[in-house]
Structure 1
Amino acid sequence: MGDSSAQFAALKQAADPAVAAAIERLVAEGDDRDLNRINVLEFSARRELDEERVISGFLQASRLGIFDLSWNVLCPGCGGVLDAHNTLKSLRPDEYHCGLCASDYEASVDKQVEVAFTVAPRVRRIAAHDPGTLPIWEYFRQMFWSSGVDFNEQGFASLTGEVTLDAIELPTGRSVMRTLQLPPQFIIVFEPVTHAAQFIDVQGEPTDEIQQLSLVYHKLAQPTETITLRPGPLQLSLDNRADSRVLPSVFIAADALHHLLGQRKPFLTAKRMLSNQTFRDVFKADNLTIDQRLKITSLSFLFTDLKGSTALYERVGDLAAFDLVRAHFRALLEIISSEKGAVVKTIGDAVMATFVTPEQALAAGLRMRAAMDALNAERGTADLVVKIGIHEGPCLAVMLNERQDYFGQTVNIASRVQGLATSQAIHITGTVIAAPAVAAMLRHAGITPIQKQAALRGIADKVVVYEIP
């Protein structure tokens, strides 16, 4: 472990002390495997630390050079890492192919891009910094599969035993011939470095004759193909013409393999990261390029505006009004952050914020309203009246005016819904109230929403909205 005392001292100043101490212990005492593609949600749960503080702590540690942050495109079928990027700017707009599943996927930042952290080599060198030296199964575990695949030791033992017919380490420029006994099952010869795959549908009458199959590995993976063979002996010829070693492995694609790969655990998604305030503050230049358009299938938007702010300045004077408005902003921004949201921008006296879920947005809205009541009571006035609108739906993450922003009809509707309020009220849309957690929150608070139809500027049809009194 390198001399990183100055970095950890700085981390203790920037992050929650308990989180900083836990990170320092991990780097000093953790196994190599524990320091590669760290799942920060699992890290938080095991140590009973607040998730948002842990995410913030790892982001600060990355800023200080303790960790390298990676954005990994995942296969939703098998949980494999189809590509790894050190910046979101490198995310490709085209489809990613999974050879193991023989499927193409678009990199949705909702669930198919994970954010993971690996200790920086200058802080501590681990085996995964040289993946070409990892044993076969450690390569699968640490490099091919993501931090969201739940491999306990018993389950991983079943992969290496129960569902694997053979696994070979083949150096570049070398070839090998293996003889296998094919069972009457569907077989996959998968290579995790080049992601090449060959499917074998083993069916029909068993045979004693030796069947032949030759596979050649190149730098670029070839399209996945399926051949039909009979149960019995197979002479498998493997030739590595790639520029690195390959690790062809022969799997039985039966229930045991599907069960193993179906064991998942939560992981930090790119969508959640984009709605994290620390990330937006610390990595402003690392978000997107000016030409990128990342699709998000579901994001919750909260817009606020301070009612009658112009009249407020005229009524109480510039200095007093400025102090009031600043106090209002402080309260709103603290609430947004504590409810796991992020401020996209402020426009005059208005705020635009995002949340991963509708219930987080509504919780923030209810707290904002209560906070304005408290500020008014503290000052003996009724000057701070905040109008709030919330909507949830698909959108595009984009770069606008050198800032990571959002674009689409969902954003437009959320802004227009906020404009419906004429008092310190919250207006939400049908997609928000339909969320089970939102309905439960309203029932628990004893709030009965008032349904109404509204014409929104720029929206062709009237929409159903709900006032939260």
Structure 2
Amino acid sequence: MADASALWGLLKQAADPSVAAALEMSVESDEDRALNRINPLTYAAERGLDEEQTIGGLVHAARLGLFDMSWNMLCPGCGGVLESGAALKTLNHAHYYCSLCASDYEPTLDQLVEVTFTVNPRVRRIAAHDPDSLPFAEYMRQIFWSSSTEVPEDVESVVQNTTLDVMELAPGEKAAMSLILPKGFAIVFDPVTHSSLFLDVDGEETHERRNLSLVFTDSHAHSGTLKVQPGPARISYENKAARRTLPGVWLHTAEMEKITGGRRPFLNATRLLSNQEFRDLYRSGTFDPEQRFKITSLTILFTDLRGSTALYDRIGDLAAFDLVRSHFGALLDAVAAEGGAVVKTIGDAVMATFPTPDRALRAAMRMREEMRKINQGRGSEDLALNIGLHSGPCLAVMLDDRQDYFGQTVNIASRVQGLAEPDAILATKPIIESSEVARLLTESSYRTTPRSSSLPLRGVSEAFEIYEVRERETAEAA
């Protein structure tokens, strides 16, 4: 790519320089497969980089055209990628079927949708840009399995030890494999079209050959389970798909369970949607207004300036405007520093999201400290900030061409903030019960006290346990 050097220069200005330099070096020297479906969390860990800065760097690199972003729907059973697209809006089915596991899944953003990055072919062409050219083992490693799957380095040996036979069929081609089926459970599976046939091999061994057949089309298809005796078999294949297929007979063994069951952390869609740099760079078009994506757990933070109307009367419009603007800047910095994102502002209130409760609580602690610094600099207590936190399931939606969140979790977080006072952060029981939050509170100068056994929240039928998170000195003085 002729202007790649200029783009790398822009990336170093927009993103963390160490991350930009690492990405440029990777493109220059890493092997092909290391540049395909990069897992940002693994990439950061292997190079000693900050996770949030690495995510931000890759987001900027994708915006510049150095890398391509991919949203992948995962199977939690085998770790396979059931569908992949350049935008979240391409994952437009209510359910996805894994024919290898014979299971149906709903695309929850925090559990089953990962985001990866692949070098753009104009910057460097790698083998994965032409997946139909990849050998069977490399196709499994680079295309079928997700970035969350712990694929062994010697994937060729693993595939050889877990398959009886594999073959390659061009579009329109017919072929057959003859083999001896051992007792146990076998799966005839093609990772390209996601087609499968289960074989329950049991009973007395026979010398009579069984004839089986499987037709591949472009849709995921599971052909059920056949019970057959151990012994010789001939499996006929016909490829009616538009692409090359790679059928193989897999043995359901401990070694297969090991490779399909191993998992490592990955960048899920919820975390990316709650990343400030992503929201700033991709303000619209992430998904369609008609789409509703479920999130099993998201942490919502609401803030509001207490007495802001009186503030304008007390210090004047211009001074109050500057003060409120500095307050917004401090809140945005606190949110971004903890890997969160500001969803919207409503008057003097802020709604922000975080992938985990501990990040949200850290951001709240930062906010309190920043408000203290601003007030100390002015020699007054003009800024009084109420903060409320709650965590739970919700829907990711598009409202007014902006990504937003909807559901009772959002309502509860807003109501909790409405009960808050500037001298304490209010958090619900799901926040406080988080193991990461418990560790944070142990290591920090804050402690929790229950506000009441349970409190009714306006518009919410269920009573909630709410806790005050205060600095120890403040709590002890009270």
Please indicate, yes or no, whether the TM-score normalized by the shorter chain is above 0.5. Answer: yes
Q: Shift in Å at residue 380 of structure 1?
A: 0.6
Which residue of structure 2 lines up, in the alignment, with residue 119 of structure 1?
A: 119
Hey, what's the Cα distance between the residues in 1 that align with 2:2 and 2:135? 25
Per-residue Cα deviation, 1:92-133 (whole angstroms, up to 9, x for no partner): 242101110011111111111110111111111111111111
Q: Shift in Å at residue 425 of structure 1?
A: 2.1
TM-score, normalising length: structure 2 = 0.95
Q: Shift in Å at residue 220 of structure 1?
A: 2.5
Is 1:315 paired with 2:320? no
Hey, what's the Cα distance between the residues in 2 that align with 1:234 and 1:242? 24
Hey, what's the Cα distance between the residues in 2 that align with 1:220 and 1:350? 48
Hey, what's the Cα distance between the residues in 1 that align with 2:433 and 2:126? 47
Q: Shift in Å at residue 219 of structure 1?
A: 2.6
Contact 2:387 2:422 in 1 (8 A): no
Hey, what's the Cα distance between the residues in 1 that align with 2:369 and 2:447? 14
Hey, what's the Cα distance between the residues in 2 that align with 1:456 and 1:120? 50
Give, as a single letter, the amino acid of the residue that structure 2 aligns with 1:261: T
Once superposed, which parts of structure 1, at least 4 consecutive aligned residues long, lie more than 4 Å away? none
Hey, what's the Cα distance between the residues in 1 that align with 2:137 and 2:274? 35
Which residue of structure 1 lines up, in the alignment, with residue 147 of structure 2?
A: 147
Query: 1:147-226 counterparts in 2 under 5 A?
Result: 147-154=147-154, 156-226=155-225
Contact 1:114 1:269 in 2 (8 A): yes
Partner SS for 2:422: coil
Structure 2, unaligned runs of 5 or more: 471-478
Q: Shift in Å at residue 466 of structure 1?
A: 1.0
Q: Shift in Å at residue 177 of structure 1?
A: 2.1
Is 1:4 paired with 2:4? yes
Hey, what's the Cα distance between the residues in 2 that align with 1:70 and 1:448? 41
Partner SS for 2:259: helix
Aligned-pair Cα RMSD in Å: 1.3
Q: Shift in Å at residue 410 of structure 1?
A: 0.5
Distance 1:384 1:28, change over 3 A: same
Per-residue Cα deviation, 1:188-225 (whole angstroms, up to 9, x for no partner): 01001110001000000111121111222223233331
Give, as a single letter, the amino acid of the residue that structure 2 aligns with 1:34: A
Hey, what's the Cα distance between the residues in 2 that align with 1:108 and 1:324? 40
Q: Shift in Å at residue 3 of structure 1?
A: 4.6
Q: Shift in Å at residue 436 of structure 1?
A: 1.5
Which shifted more, 412-421 or 145-154? 145-154
Contact 2:448 2:467 in 1 (8 A): no
Which residue of structure 2 lines up, in the alignment, with residue 52 of structure 1?
A: 52
Per-residue Cα deviation, 1:36-70 (whole angstroms, up to 9, x for no partner): 11111111111100011111111111111111111
Contact 1:428 1:465 in 2 (8 A): yes
Distance 1:219 1:450, change over 3 A: closer
Give, as a single letter, the amino acid of the residue that structure 1 aligns with 2:142: Q
Q: Shift in Å at residue 255 of structure 1?
A: 1.3
Hey, what's the Cα distance between the residues in 1 that align with 2:397 and 2:13? 32
Which residue of structure 2 lines up, in the alignment, with residue 457 of structure 1?
A: 458
Contact 1:386 1:425 in 2 (8 A): no
Which residue of structure 1 lines up, in the alignment, with residue 341 of structure 2?
A: 342
Which residue of structure 2 lines up, in the alignment, with residue 430 of structure 1?
A: 429
Hey, what's the Cα distance between the residues in 2 that align with 1:321 and 1:334? 20
Give, as a single letter, the amino acid of the residue that structure 2 aligns with 1:386: L
Contact 1:339 1:360 in 2 (8 A): yes
Query: 1:278-427 counterparts in 2 under 5 A?
Result: 278-427=277-426
Contact 1:3 1:123 in 2 (8 A): no
Is 1:67 paired with 2:67? yes
Give, as a single letter, the amino acid of the residue that structure 1 aligns with 2:144: F
Give, as a single letter, the amino acid of the residue that structure 2 aligns with 1:208: H
Q: Shift in Å at residue 152 of structure 1?
A: 2.1
Contact 1:194 1:221 in 2 (8 A): yes
Partner SS for 1:462: strand
Distance 1:446 1:343, change over 3 A: closer
Contact 1:170 1:246 in 2 (8 A): yes
Aligned length: 468
Q: Shift in Å at residue 443 of structure 1?
A: 3.1
Contact 1:2 1:124 in 2 (8 A): no
- Matched-pair identity in %: 54
Give, as a single letter, the amino acid of the residue that structure 2 aligns with 1:19: V
Q: Shift in Å at residue 163 of structure 1?
A: 1.0
Give, as a single letter, the amino acid of the residue that structure 2 aligns with 1:104: D
Partner SS for 1:205: coil
Per-residue Cα deviation, 1:242-292 (whole angstroms, up to 9, x for no partner): 222110011101111001111211111001011000110001123221111
Hey, what's the Cα distance between the residues in 1 that align with 2:397 and 2:169? 43
Q: Shift in Å at residue 2 of structure 1?
A: 5.2
Partner SS for 1:223: strand
Contact 1:102 1:224 in 2 (8 A): no
Partner SS for 2:161: coil
Give, as a single letter, the amino acid of the residue that structure 2 aligns with 1:16: D
Distance 1:123 1:320, change over 3 A: same
Per-residue Cα deviation, 1:5-59 (whole angstroms, up to 9, x for no partner): 1111111111111111111111111211111111111111111000111111111
Per-residue Cα deviation, 1:158-191 (whole angstroms, up to 9, x for no partner): 4222111001011122222221111111000100
Hey, what's the Cα distance between the residues in 2 that align with 1:459 and 1:330? 32
Contact 1:165 1:250 in 2 (8 A): yes
Give, as a single letter, the amino acid of the residue that structure 1 aligns with 2:461: A
Contact 1:188 1:198 in 2 (8 A): yes
Is 1:271 paired with 2:274? no
Hey, what's the Cα distance between the residues in 1 that align with 2:368 and 2:240? 65
Q: Shift in Å at residue 298 of structure 1?
A: 0.3
Contact 2:76 2:112 in 1 (8 A): yes
Give, as a single letter, the amino acid of the residue that structure 2 aligns with 1:124: R
Per-residue Cα deviation, 1:115-159 (whole angstroms, up to 9, x for no partner): 0111111111111111111111111111111111111224x2442
Which shifted more, 266-275 or 282-291? 282-291
Contact 1:342 1:355 in 2 (8 A): yes
Hey, what's the Cα distance between the residues in 1 that align with 2:446 and 2:159? 54
Give, as a single letter, the amino acid of the residue that structure 2 aligns with 1:455: P
Q: Shift in Å at residue 311 of structure 1?
A: 0.6
Which residue of structure 2 lines up, in the alignment, with residue 78 of structure 1?
A: 78
